[in-house]
Structure 1
């Protein structure tokens, strides 16, 4: 429904996006993504259904980006209405069109990322109004819910954003290098605490038998817990290295030689292989469990600029927020960058909602423009000189 509305007003939202340099750059990258995908689909003689599916990906991202830029350039009430509607619509969509794994874990595969995003944005508003304690309690609550329910990546992302955002909040202008140093120290401390604390709780069975079993299995893998949790990332290099930069289409056929090399790479990492592995990774062509490697394998290397550029812009906005001492901005952009980076590397496409990617990039573009003093109207996640920060 959102895409249909945006298509109806495409000239308006496109003109609103075209005025910004970073927006134009990304739109060209998205056009390159679309053309590379179209060329791959023609060369590989992919089915019409697969071609439509592949071509809709960059189109949906572009529509969400232009629509968010258009909405966020209006007055604060309009921008906040857009963001609230985005979160509510995502919740409704998760309920009406559940993913295949929704029955197994509704929090991880449906409501968790959306609720966490809503809590982050609400906490940013509370921080901008000086309610630090309320924001801290809210962030701690949603992080603990993810930890107890076994959604480890969401817990880490939320805890990371909360730590960085709360450390930056209320410090005001000053030397940027001190805030960067403080942020770096907080990240190192958080990594140590999470790794040691989670390992202790999981190994003792405090987080349930499933988490205990996963910790024991993954901690035995060569390369540590991260590779143990996502060994496909390392093994994917075997698949990508032997393929041309053009791509092989959606759900491509994988020859026995590539399958063998892929599974042998997993075996070399200490992963115990069984018959289910072959079915899990190759029953529908190819499943790499990574947006980055999956799109690279399916549509070719030319899709990467359009996929990675928005994360670079969001990271730039995060650094600008830390430099400015903006707690709400740091909290929001740290969460968005961490979520997008994690999902791009370690999750399949459904977790990386196109509307998240487009909206995060739009907010970052406008925030950076505000820092340069070229945005004439208030926008979310942007500070207005002499006034309270808007989130």
Structure 2
């Protein structure tokens, strides 16, 4: 297996060949330099070192490379569509905030932070797409995961509560599955998923356990015996994955409620089921707030809009319909303290960017279903891709935009590729 630079023999010492008259050596040197730059920027993107106004060092580096990666991202129609809609969505957020300034206070700093999340997703995905033309996908993803690992802050309060769930877990999943994809062996990818799944189950990571379990089932399903004449349609694949998802949900809920994943997890889940009749709705009452706000103001609010008492009341009414008591500090301080935080990518995109934000999310869903179902049907979806797709689908409805940014960078970087590259490279 070649190293990340693409050759066993090539080393940084060959950079002196940049000035040589040997065309072959000079091209090799430039190619190594490109790979080095790509690896460095991927690490910085995963690291997320914050700068003022929502920028990070990784975003700055990615935007500086825009002339390099923009051609790769827009070479395919689906990529051009996603980036065009991304630009329209960003403009919509600015215009919507101007409109909302009539009856809302607008925080420019909060607006810039939200805008940079969208820009960061698009720029980071562009860098990953470009990096995939320079090195194998698994290496590119592993570098990104290394940056995520460097971002872990052991001194944080959430890390102290659960070091795996709020610290080492996400980067470990990305790195392990990225490296496993380099083997090209389905059994190696399955073993990585089993290990990660077991670790998540033992560390009170319910959503991660379910996501990894569903990913494992999808990977195993690809290895099923195939008929010599019959072909599975993409629609049948989507239905099969949906059925697997329901099985994982029902099986996981049974394990949790029976206490197999720990007493603390069992007690918390029982309270959520008693509250709303479902672990999903009980653990994500923010969905009720989103529905309440959409019913009250369908256009959204715009970048940097500060919630008014009327907005908070509409959100609380929506949460109450789920059986959740919203009269607590979490709702006032976290969800609506200084901006709208609806704890879902769809909700955050709608609140900050309006209807175009919803359209952007719908296009992402369409790209996921169309591309992923085709790859899964053909048995060419790696465990890495399956995991990223399932994680992204979860984040669309159950995770805030900020925490979902790394996964969506990976999602777009893995899916928005040239068709000829997708057909040749199983690592997609």
| C-alpha separation in 2, matches of 1:248 and 1:135 | 42
| C-alpha separation in 2, matches of 1:233 and 1:325 | 34
TM-score normalized by structure 1?
Answer: 0.82
Shift of 1:285: 4.1
| C-alpha separation in 2, matches of 1:251 and 1:105 | 33
Tell me, which stretches of 5 or more residues in structure 1 are unaligned? 376-381
Shift of 1:37: 1.7
Shift of 1:349: 1.9
Which deviates more from structure 2 when the two are superposed, residues 246-255 or residues 135-144?
Answer: 246-255
Summarize deviations over 1:339-369 as a string: whole Å, max 9, x none.
Answer: 111112111122202x4323322321226x1
C-alpha contact (below 8 Å) 1:238/1:262 kept by paired residues? yes
* 2:397 corresponds to which of 341, 345, 362: 345
Q: Within the alignment, does 1:224 sit opposite 2:278 as a pair? A: yes
| C-alpha separation in 2, matches of 1:40 and 1:190 | 37
- CA 1:363–1:113: 2 relative to 1, 3 Å: same
Q: Within the alignment, does 1:92 sit opposite 2:141 as a pair? A: no
| C-alpha separation in 1, matches of 2:271 and 2:213 | 24
* 1:58 corresponds to which of 80, 99, 118: 118
Aligned 1:1-391 pairs, distance under 5 A: 1-43=57-99, 44=101, 46-76=106-136, 79-95=137-153, 101-126=158-183, 128-129=184-185, 132=187, 134-169=188-223, 171=225, 175-177=230-232, 181=236, 184-185=239-240, 188=243, 191-192=246-247, 194-196=249-251, 198-250=252-304, 252-255=306-309, 257-280=310-333, 281-326=335-380, 329-353=381-405, 355-366=406-417, 369-370=419-420, 375=421, 382-384=422-424, 389-390=426-427
Ranges of 4+ aligned residues in structure 1 off by more than 6 Å: none
Higher relative contact order (CA 8 A, sep 6+): 1
Tell me, which stretches of 5 or more residues in structure 2 are unaligned? 1-56
| C-alpha separation in 1, matches of 2:62 and 2:342 | 32
Shift of 1:204: 4.1
Shift of 1:180: 6.5
Note the aligned Cα RMSD (angstroms): 3.0
| C-alpha separation in 2, matches of 1:19 and 1:59 | 19
TM-score normalized by structure 2?
Answer: 0.75
| C-alpha separation in 2, matches of 1:40 and 1:322 | 39
Shift of 1:164: 0.8
